[in-house]
């Protein structure tokens, strides 16, 4: 049997070192449970950054993948296939938008939305081509393409990748005055995460998105919500924008749209906006492929049939309440919505060793920004499993020594 150590060594010998994964190897997975090559068992509390909302290897989604693989896997967009239309209709019905454009990865969805906004600016708003501006937020995470990292404020994401793409203006998150002040005659869109996931599950103040909607409408600017990590029931609603009861002009979608088994992403908008794309102006060989379409339909049906939004809302509130009772003086804040949550430790605290301790007790989570640990289990987690996980977290957190005073 190949052991975890040799697997990790092979990864490091032959793979680019562009990630720093927790030293654990996953060999099998089902639901919330993971197993390594040696048979050690773990609970997944990251969900592949919310790509596994429906749980690992959900039977309905796996069956859809297998059945479609026996029929047709790829046609490209040079021809129609017999399932993409059904998928797009389902996605439009689920999101409430009139049209969808299928892609593969979240970054592709964001790139698509950026192109759509620029085209809308030139053809509808009347901005001179080349002068379109898109406003984004500090600490954003929208992907890792050249265009996207050009407006990142993460030094690691940007280092030595110049020259950087222009046409972007960066403002503070959760600050509508800054948004209003940044808009000018060339502004075509505001791209924002309803909750900033990579920034450490930073939840904006109540009414933030409602005011964003008002400003964008008033100033004729597209409101683009990046729901790639926060969408599909993760935060206790279908989409995180639903907490403020607002409707963006465009949404970018991905991760859980592929049910944890296949890369599927999309952009949704109404015809007045999406209709600006014409043949040859945008595309993807694999976008809308039959495998992805079949998986996407099943992924959406699982969200609805198992009422995962309601489940996420209820269990997320329970998790935060239990975390708030843990006796750990290094905890500074507990925040989140639904089952997208974070424990924030003191500034300067290094949470890596805490994640290792959680792993050793059978729970896998990952830190971000050094002092923050995200807790985002699959939405199919049971109450018994959640209580089991809380017990592990409490044991580890209460063993963290208090800060030493110099």
CA pair distance 321, 22, nearest whole angstrom = 27
pLDDT band of 404, cuts 50, 70, 90: low
Kindly state whether residues 36 and 103 are assigned to the same domain. Answer: no
In this structure, the number of other CB atoms found within 10 A of the CB of residue 281 comes to 10
The pLDDT of 89-114, averaged and rounded, is: 98
In a domain, 216, yes or no: yes
CA pair distance 188, 250, nearest whole angstrom = 12
Tell me the pLDDT tens digit for each residue of 128-171.
Answer: 999 999 999 999 999 999 999 999 999 999 999 999 999 999 99
Kindly state whether residues 297 and 201 are assigned to the same domain. Answer: yes
In order of 194, 205, 247, the CA distances from 210 in angstroms are: 11, 10, 9
Tell me the pLDDT tens digit for each residue of 312-331.
Answer: 999 999 999 999 999 999 99
Helices (H), 24-161: 47-50, 59-69, 84-95, 106-120, 146-150, 155-158
- Cis, bond preceding 200 (omega within 30 deg of 0): no
Any catalytic annotation for residue 337?
Answer: no
In a domain, 405, yes or no: no
Whether the pLDDT of residue 51 is over 60: the answer is: yes
CA pair distance 102, 304, nearest whole angstrom = 20
Kindly state whether residues 158 and 295 are assigned to the same domain. Answer: yes
CA pair distance 25, 37, nearest whole angstrom = 7
The pLDDT of 14-39, averaged and rounded, is: 97
Kindly state whether residues 373 and 326 are assigned to the same domain. Answer: yes
Kindly state whether residues 341 and 255 are assigned to the same domain. Answer: no
Any catalytic annotation for residue 226?
Answer: yes
pLDDT score recorded for residue 273? 98
Torsion of CA 274, 142, 214, 237, to 10 degrees: 90
Kindly state whether residues 288 and 200 are assigned to the same domain. Answer: yes
In a domain, 85, yes or no: yes
Whether the pLDDT of residue 406 is over 70: the answer is: no
Q: What percent of the chain has pLDDT over 90?
A: 98
In a domain, 25, yes or no: yes
Kindly state whether residues 220 and 247 are assigned to the same domain. Answer: yes
CA pair distance 260, 61, nearest whole angstrom = 9
Give the three-class secondary structure for 382: coil
Can you read off the two tokens belonging to residue 68? 């479609």
- Active-site option among 87, 141, 239, 262: 141
The pLDDT of 325-354, averaged and rounded, is: 97
Kindly state whether residues 30 and 143 are assigned to the same domain. Answer: no
pLDDT score recorded for residue 2? 85
Whether the pLDDT of residue 363 is over 70: the answer is: yes
- Detail the DSSP E strand segments found in 277-371: 331-337, 340-345, 363-364, 366-368
CA pair distance 257, 228, nearest whole angstrom = 9
Whether the pLDDT of residue 282 is over 50: the answer is: yes
Strand partners for 373: 343, 367
In a domain, 72, yes or no: yes
Kindly state whether residues 257 and 366 are assigned to the same domain. Answer: no
- Active-site option among 226, 239, 277, 313: 226
Among 256, 283, 305, the domain-final residue is: 305
Q: What percent of the chain has pLDDT over 70?
A: 99
Domain range for 298: 59-305
Strand partners for 196: 202
pTM: 0.97
In a domain, 112, yes or no: yes
Q: How many domains does the chain have?
A: 2
Any catalytic annotation for residue 255?
Answer: yes
In a domain, 281, yes or no: yes
Can you read off the two tokens belonging to residue 57? 């290897």
Helices (H), 338-382: 352-361
Kindly state whether residues 150 and 263 are assigned to the same domain. Answer: yes
Tell me the pLDDT tens digit for each residue of 161-199.
Answer: 999 999 999 999 999 999 999 999 999 999 999 999 999
**Contact status, residue 391 vs residue 43, Cβ threshold 8 Å:** no
Kindly state whether residues 39 and 169 are assigned to the same domain. Answer: no
Among 272, 305, 338, the domain-final residue is: 305
By DSSP bridging, strand 372-375 and strand 340-345 are antiparallel
Cα 256 to the chain's mean position, in Å? Answer: 8
Can you read off the two tokens belonging to residue 302? 């699982």
**Contact status, residue 262 vs residue 222, Cβ threshold 8 Å:** no
CA pair distance 357, 303, nearest whole angstrom = 32
- Active-site option among 255, 345, 349, 397: 255
The CATH number covering residue 346 comes to 3.90.1150.10
Whether the pLDDT of residue 124 is over 80: the answer is: yes
CA pair distance 366, 350, nearest whole angstrom = 12
Tell me the pLDDT tens digit for each residue of 215-253.
Answer: 999 999 999 999 999 999 999 999 999 999 999 999 999
Among 305, 322, 354, the domain-final residue is: 305
Strand partners for 195: none
Kindly state whether residues 119 and 266 are assigned to the same domain. Answer: yes
In a domain, 370, yes or no: yes
- Give the burial string for 62-78 (b: 16+ CB within 10 Å, else e): bebbeebeeeeeeeebe
The CATH number covering residue 221 comes to 3.40.640.10
Instruction: Return the closest-CA partner of residue 102 out of 233, 349, 296.
Output: 296
Tell me the pLDDT tens digit for each residue of 303-317.
Answer: 999 999 999 999 999
The pLDDT of 387-396, averaged and rounded, is: 98
């Amino acid at each position: 049997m190949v052991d975890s150590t040799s697997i990790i060594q092979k990864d490091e010998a032959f793979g680019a070192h562009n990630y720093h994964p927790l030293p654990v190897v996953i060999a099998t997975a089902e639901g919330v449970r993971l197993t390594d090559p040696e048979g050690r068992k773990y609970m997944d509390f990251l969900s592949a950054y919310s790509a596994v909302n429906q749980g690992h290897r959900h039977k309905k989604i796996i069956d859809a993948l297998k059945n479609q693989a026996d029929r047709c896997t790829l046609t490209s967009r040079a021809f129609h296939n017999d399932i993409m239309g059904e998928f797009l209709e389902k996605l439009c019905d689920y999101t409430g938008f009139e049209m969808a454009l299928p892609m593969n990865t979240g970054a592709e969805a964001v790139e698509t939305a950026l192109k759509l906004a620029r085209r809308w600016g030139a053809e509808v708003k009347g901005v001179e081509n080349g002068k379109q501006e898109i406003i984004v937020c500090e600490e954003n995470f929208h992907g890792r393409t050249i265009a996207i990292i050009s407006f990142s404020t993460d030094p690691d994401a940007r280092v030595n990748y110049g020259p950087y793409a222009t046409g972007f203006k960066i403002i503070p998150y959760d600050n509508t005055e800054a948004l209003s002040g940044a808009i000018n005659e060339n502004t075509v869109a505001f791209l924002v995460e309803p909750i900033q996931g990579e920034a450490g599950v930073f939840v904006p103040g109540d009414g933030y998105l409602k005011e964003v909607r008002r400003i964008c409408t008033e100033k004729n600017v597209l409101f683009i919500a990046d729901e790639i990590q926060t969408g599909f029931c993760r935060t206790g609603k279908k989409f995180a924008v639903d907490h403020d009861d607002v409707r963006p002009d465009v949404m970018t979608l991905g991760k859980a749209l592929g049910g944890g088994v296949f890369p599927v992403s999309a952009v949704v908008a109404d015809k007045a906006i999406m209709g600006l794309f014409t043949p040859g102006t945008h595309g993807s060989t694999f976008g809308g492929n039959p495998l992805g379409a079949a998986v996407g339909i099943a992924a959406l049906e699982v969200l609805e049939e198992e009422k995962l939004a309601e489940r996420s809302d209820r269990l997320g509130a329970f998790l935060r309440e239990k975390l708030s009772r843990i006796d750990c003086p290094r905890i500074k804040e507990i925040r989140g919505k639904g089952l997208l949550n974070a424990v924030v430790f003191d500034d300067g605290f290094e949470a890596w060793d805490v994640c290792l301790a959680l792993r050793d007790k059978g729970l896998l989570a990952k830190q971000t920004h050094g002092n923050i640990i995200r807790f985002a289990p699959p939405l199919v987690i049971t109450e018994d499993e959640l209580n089991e996980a809380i017990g592990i977290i409490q044991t580890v957190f209460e063993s963290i020594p208090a800060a030493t005073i110099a």
